[in-house]
Structure 1
Amino acid sequence: MKKDLPENDVKDIAVAVALESESVESKVWYVYLINLKNEPIENVLITSKGYGEKDGEQVKTSTLRHMIPAIEGKAYKLIEPIDEQTFGLNNEYWVSYYIGKTIFDKKFIFLPESIVEMNFIKLPVINKPGVMIK
């Protein structure tokens, strides 16, 4: 059955974790969906969750669901804030969206300890430091 579905390749869509602000006590992080296309994407559904091993035990976070009506071309939208304590887990974002009547979907997974300063880039469109998966 799944083999009968068309494979719609997701291109020019990214999920990014950006460092919003930093103080002596803490850092504030947000997760964004970036549309690098020239055209809008619509009916965007995002499921986020964290999972993995911490202190020798399996850990799972709550599954959150987000809906964004549309994201214009060369634009971004906030998905959610993210806590630094989850950076040691797999942080998964499953994104589905439409262009016209065609549906696209892809999983973006930030692996444990991948959200670190040595992996920072200047995020396109957002123009903040962070880590991006495309």
Structure 2
Amino acid sequence: MKKDIQIPKVEGVYLAIVNEYNDLYKTHDWNAYIINDKNIDLELVLIVTNGYSEKKVTSTFRKKLDLLPKKSYAKIEFMPEELFVLNNEFKVTFFEGNTMHEKNFLFRRNTINEKAFQNIPLMEMKGILVK
């Protein structure tokens, strides 16, 4: 039975961590975003995140988006710099039409930094991107 389950490959959905100015607090904050670069809306997007290393595990954070429109993005969470020494994993599940999709995104420890910046699709910003 398990061999009969088809899990489609996820393309056009990315995660990015960007450093942006916070007007309210007058600080530069790191934030995680989910990006839908597809030409179809994503429904019931569930995101489960946590950080971990050999010796430490953070608490689990969950976020739900009812809809992530095509060619758009949404902020997931604020990322304190203390988390960058950990592996940060984002497990994303969503429906595209009537088909459920799932993908894990991993930001490896010490890879979130300004030296790793690249252009982020749709956002017109620079940051760290995981496809």
Query: What's the TM-score, normalizing by structure 1?
Result: 0.90
Report the CA distance between 1:50 and its aligned residue.
Answer: 0.2
Counterpart Cα distance in 2 of 1:5 and 1:60? 31
SS of residue in 1 equivalent to 2:85:
coil
Partner of 2:15: 15
More displaced, 114-123 or 40-49? Answer: 114-123
Partner of 1:42: 43
Report the CA distance between 1:27 and its aligned residue.
Answer: 3.3
- RMSD (Å), alpha carbons: 1.6
Report the CA distance between 1:129 and its aligned residue.
Answer: 1.7
Unaligned runs of 5+ in 1: none
Counterpart Cα distance in 1 of 2:111 and 2:66? 30
1:94-130 CA-to-partner distances (Å, cap 9, x unmatched) read: 0000011100001000001111122101211111221
What is the percent sequence identity of the aligned residues?
36
Counterpart Cα distance in 2 of 1:19 and 1:122? 12
SS of residue in 2 equivalent to 1:114:
coil
More displaced, 74-83 or 114-123? Answer: 114-123
Query: 1:109 is matched by which residue type in structure 2?
Result: L
Counterpart Cα distance in 1 of 2:105 and 2:128? 12
The ranges of structure 1 where at least 4 consecutive aligned residues each deviate by more than 6 angstroms after the TM superposition are: none
CA pair 15-2 structure 1, distance change in 2 beyond 3 A? farther
Unaligned runs of 5+ in 2: none
Query: What's the TM-score, normalizing by structure 2?
Result: 0.92
